[in-house]
């Protein structure tokens, strides 16, 4: 019968509770949910089934796969077994969070349309509300002119109709920012992430890594933020949590770390390499030059890399976020943005300012993701109409 059988036989005279206790101690019949050695999450425990943002995962060996957007799978959780969420349900939950997050921004704008007539006073109030929402002077003037044209063409007579037309105007302005992050055209796809201190770069990288790993992508992280205390450790926790590899050097040169990571990613046939960098202000010229050096070194490690240069911006900073986008784009040539901390902000109108800036310079810098909270599911793909509707709801 063996050792296990002898122990079971010897335990029969004892009560069932003691038997269960010893079984648990010996680890017989345990499930992953009972295991206590799982790596701790750097954020709050995931109690809900997260809604996964959509990424385009291209497979060069199968050409038709490169043209379709592949939704990332939902992370397994006990809650999913009890009440599985459909994509529609998850998106509705996301919309509720987005509306709540933008309430401080949109409440003053929505109040403009509670009157009974369309007149100059309505447009003046709307102008003030847009400026207070940090849309900026140029974007505010652009939206007002576009709105007046739409009102005239639609022969609108009710303020509620004007509100619907403003949603259309904002959607059209933001539409060019709505693009999906694509991986798979290069092996590995190298993503460099930058931003000012406190914008949420490392946390955003952790969430993005989780979504990529869940979609079957093999990810390698480069801990190139060698200055901030515990930055390396924080990224290592994310790597452990997501079961991905990481290249790091305590106190090492950031450019050297990224070089080694890209080489390692290629040698290990990784799909994606994500390089974290230290936070810095755009006015710190020597640190901005260091970013340029990191980008150049990545290019030496792999021709055509980095394939994506993402800037993480704090949505609470309003017009300052636009200044950051301009400065980092001039230094690095940005390919995309992640706007974080939109929950509870009164300055969500800055996306209109960013959209107009992109439009005027004829070079689009898309917003790949927006965040409205700390949880994994609080980072989602940016949808122009969803944002416009949430802003005025």
Please write the tens of the pLDDT for every residue from 66-76.
Answer: 333 333 433 33
Average pLDDT of 366-379? 87
What does the alpha-carbon distance between residue 191 and residue 195 come to, in Å, rounded to a whole number? 13
User: Which residue is listed with tokens 């974007």?
Assistant: 139
What does the alpha-carbon distance between residue 10 and residue 151 come to, in Å, rounded to a whole number? 85
Structure tokens at 120: 């100059």
Phi and psi for 321 in degrees, rounded to 5? -65, -40
The secondary structure of 57-111, three-state, reads ECCCCCHHHHHCCEECCCCCCHHHHHCCCCHHHHHHHHHHHHHHHCHHHHHHHHH
Instruction: Indicate the burial class of 342 (C-beta count within 10 angstroms; 0-12, 13-18, 19 or more).
Output: buried
**86: confidence class by pLDDT, cuts 50, 70, 90:** low
What does the alpha-carbon distance between residue 317 and residue 341 come to, in Å, rounded to a whole number? 10
* 3-state DSSP assignment of residue 37: coil
Structure tokens at 184: 């798979």
Which of 24-33, 126-135, 240-249 has the highest average model confidence (pLDDT)? 126-135
What does the alpha-carbon distance between residue 236 and residue 162 come to, in Å, rounded to a whole number? 50
Q: What is the pLDDT of residue 125?
A: 93
Average pLDDT of 365-371? 94
* Pairwise pLDDT comparison (29 vs 391), residue with the higher score: 391
pLDDT tens readout for residues 224-277: 888 776 778 888 888 888 888 999 887 778 999 999 999 999 999 999 999 999
Quickly count: other Cβ atoms within 10 Å of residue 101's Cβ: 23
pLDDT of residue 104 exceeding 80: no
Q: Are 368 and 338 in contact (CB under 8 A)?
A: yes
Sorted by where each starts, the structural domains of the chain and their CATH numbers stand as 2-28 (no CATH), 101-176 (1.20.120.140), 183-383 (3.40.50.300)
Query: What DSSP character marks residue 144?
Result: H
Structure tokens at 104: 């401080």
- Sequential DSSP letters for 160-195: HHHHHHHHHHHHHHHGGG----EESSSSSEEEEEEE
Average pLDDT of 322-347? 90
Phi and psi for 46 in degrees, rounded to 5? -80, 105
* Pairwise pLDDT comparison (327 vs 108), residue with the higher score: 327
Q: What is the pLDDT of residue 49?
A: 41
Q: What is the pLDDT of residue 58?
A: 55
Phi and psi for 243 in degrees, rounded to 5? 55, 50
What does the alpha-carbon distance between residue 311 and residue 336 come to, in Å, rounded to a whole number? 7
pLDDT tens readout for residues 139-183: 999 999 999 999 999 999 888 899 999 999 999 999 999 999 989
Residues making up the chain, counted from first to last: 393
CA max distance for the chain: 91
Q: Are 54 and 72 in contact (CB under 8 A)?
A: yes
pTM of the predicted model as reported, rounded to 2 decimal places: 0.77
DSSP lists the bridge partners of residue 336 as 310
Structure tokens at 28: 């017989």
Q: Are 54 and 380 in contact (CB under 8 A)?
A: no
């Amino acid at each position: 019968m063996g050792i296990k059988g002898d122990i079971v036989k010897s335990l029969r005279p004892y009560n069932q509770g003691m038997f269960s206790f010893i079984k648990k101690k010996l680890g017989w019949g345990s499930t992953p949910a009972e295991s206590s050695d799982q790596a701790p999450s750097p954020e709050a425990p995931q109690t809900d089934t997260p809604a996964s943002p959509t990424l385009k995962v291209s497979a060069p060996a199968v050409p038709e796969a490169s043209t379709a957007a592949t939704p990332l799978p939902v992370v397994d959780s006990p809650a999913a077994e009890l009440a599985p969420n459909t994509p529609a349900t998850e998106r509705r939950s996301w919309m509720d969070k987005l509306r709540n997050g933008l309430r401080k921004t949109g409440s003053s704008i929505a109040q403009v349309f509670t009157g009974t007539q369309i007149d100059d006073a309505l447009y003046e109030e709307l102008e003030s509300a847009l400026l207070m929402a940090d849309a900026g002077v140029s974007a505010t003037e652009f939206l007002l002119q576009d709105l007046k044209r739409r009102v005239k063409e639609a022969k609108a007579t009710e303020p509620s109709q004007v509100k619907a037309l403003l949603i259309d105007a904002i959607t059209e302005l933001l539409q060019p920012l709505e693009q999906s992050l694509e991986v798979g055209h290069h092996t590995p796809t190298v993503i460099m992430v930058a931003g000012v201190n406190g914008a949420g770069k490392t946390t955003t990288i952790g969430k993005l890594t989780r979504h990529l790993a869940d979609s079957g992508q093999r990810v390698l992280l480069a801990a190139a933020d060698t200055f901030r205390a515990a930055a390396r450790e924080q990224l290592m926790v994310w790597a452990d949590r997501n079961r991905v590899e990481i290249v790091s050097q305590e106190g090492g040169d950031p450019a050297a770390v990224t070089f080694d990571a890209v080489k390692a990613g290629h040698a290990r046939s990784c799909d994606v390499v994500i390089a974290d960098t230290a936070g810095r202000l755009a006015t710190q010229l020597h640190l901005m030059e260091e970013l340029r050096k990191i980008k150049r070194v990545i290019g030496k490690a792999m021709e055509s890399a980095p394939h994506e240069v993402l800037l993480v911006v704090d949505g609470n900073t309003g017009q300052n976020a636009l200044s950051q986008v301009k400065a980092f784009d001039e230094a690095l040539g940005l390919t995309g943005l992640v706007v974080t901390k939109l929950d509870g902000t009164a300055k969500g109108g800055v996306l209109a300012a960013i959209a107009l800036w992109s439009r005027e310079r004829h070079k689009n810098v898309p917003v790949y993701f927006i965040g409205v909270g700390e949880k994994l599911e609080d980072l989602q793909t940016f949808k122009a109409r969803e944002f416009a509707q949430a802003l005025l709801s």
